[in-house]
Amino acid sequence: MTHLLVTGGAGFIGSHITAALLAANHDVSVLDCVHPAAHVRPVQVPTGVRLHRADVRDPDAVRAALRGVDAVLHQAALVGLGAGPGDLPEYVGCNDLGTAVLLAAMSEAGVKRLVLASSMVVYGEGAYRCDRHGPVRPAPRAARDLQAGHFEPSCPDCGQPLATGLVAEDAPLDPRSGYAATKVAQEHLAAIWARECGAAVAALRYHNVYGPGMPRDTPYSGVAAIFRSALAGGRAPQVYEDGRQRRDFVHVTDVAAANVAALAARPGFRAYNVASGRPITIGEVAETLAGAVDGAPPVVTGRFRLGDVRHVVASPGRAERELGFRAAVSPADGLREFACAPLRG
């Protein structure tokens, strides 16, 4: 048995990780500030789990939580695109300053193993190929193109349509939102810490996580929860762009399993996609959820968010080869179950 600290362990993903660690016979503590973006109702943790109700930016609280700890699973973060640029200080504070404080305290305490919750947003757009120019990185989509309904990125050299592929962990990092920039910074800080301390970091790049206990419809919610909340309220899910944007939706129980597996990652810094390996369009997500509850058919609105990217589909091979992790829940099955699952708040 090892003693593990889960930051953000009372939240959506963190609570599932905590449960998975307990099932694997680990001793678990949780550090969670109970941020209002993630928590509405009173917070509870499983029996036997110690809850440090504190902010990860508080050095004294983090030092206290690290006493006797063998490894940290760092989930505490503000997620999603947020409501606008005014959220940037809070994102940078929660995500980057919080990570820096944690890493400094881990160095002081001699804790040398970290599983970091990263995200597929670090890639920006996914993998693309031009018939003429080979692999290319499209520029951020222009507002005028999106307003005209031109959603697909084009080749930056010839302007021709692109074919999409699987994005692997060695793809260039290209954050295109404030949240994405903070996740890249977290990875860089953790890599520096691992190198200077001779430590191990597994950065798990979560793709679109969904499942029971997901927060309800807020500016920080994932799209699956937003659709789910609309259907629960008798409303049609509102699908942005043309609904054909492709993502990989991974069930939260698979994410928890990936975290358990990542505790055995080798020393140094290593990134892993955590994904189902079965891509799906946003429109299909809305249709699956609506069909599972006989809800109102989705409405394709043509609206867009400038910080969004078009397609991000993962290659999950590295996590399977090196960690022995393979997602067990298909999006088709998981989304049908999620359509009736309880939400948080």
Q: What is the pLDDT along the chain (345 residues), one digit of tens a residue?
A: 699 999 999 999 999 999 999 999 999 999 999 876 665 566 778 889 999 999 999 999 999 999 999 999 999 999 876 657 888 999 999 999 999 999 999 999 999 999 999 999 999 999 999 999 999 999 889 999 999 999 999 999 999 999 999 999 999 999 988 999 999 999 999 999 999 999 999 999 999 999 999 987 765 668 999 999 999 999 999 999 999 999 999 999 999 999 999 999 999 999 999 999 999 999 999 999 999 999 999 999 999 988 789 999 999 999 999 999 999 999 999 999 999 998 876
Q: Is residue 273 classed as helix, strand or coil in its secondary structure?
A: strand
Q: How far apart are CA 205 and CA 200, in angstroms?
A: 16
Q: Identify each DSSP E strand in 157-310 by its residue range.
A: 163-165, 200-206, 208-210, 238-239, 246-247, 249-251, 268-274, 280-281, 299-300
> 26 near 19, Cβ under 8 Å?
no
Q: How far apart are CA 259 and CA 205, in angstroms?
A: 11
Pairing of strands 127-130, 134-136: antiparallel
Phi first, then psi: give them for residue 161, nearest 5 degrees: -60, 155
Q: How far apart are CA 248 and CA 277, in angstroms?
A: 7
What is the rounded end-to-end Cα distance, in angstroms, of the chain?
Answer: 33
For residues 302-317, one letter each, b for 16 or more C-beta atoms within 10 angstroms of the residue's C-beta and e for the rest, the string is eebeebbbbbbbbbbe
User: Which pLDDT value is given to residue 219?
Assistant: 59
Closest C-alpha among 259, 221, 223, 251 to residue 331: 251
Q: Both tokens of residue 115?
A: 């599983």
Closest C-alpha among 228, 225, 190, 232 to residue 209: 225
What are the tens digits of pLDDT across the range 232-283?
999 999 999 999 999 999 999 999 999 999 999 999 999 999 999 999 999 9
Phi first, then psi: give them for residue 30, nearest 5 degrees: -125, 135
> 128 near 136, Cβ under 8 Å?
yes
Prediction pTM value: 0.94
- Is 85 exposed, middle or buried (CB count within 10 Å of its CB: 0-12, 13-18, 19+)? exposed
Q: How far apart are CA 122 and CA 117, in angstroms?
A: 12
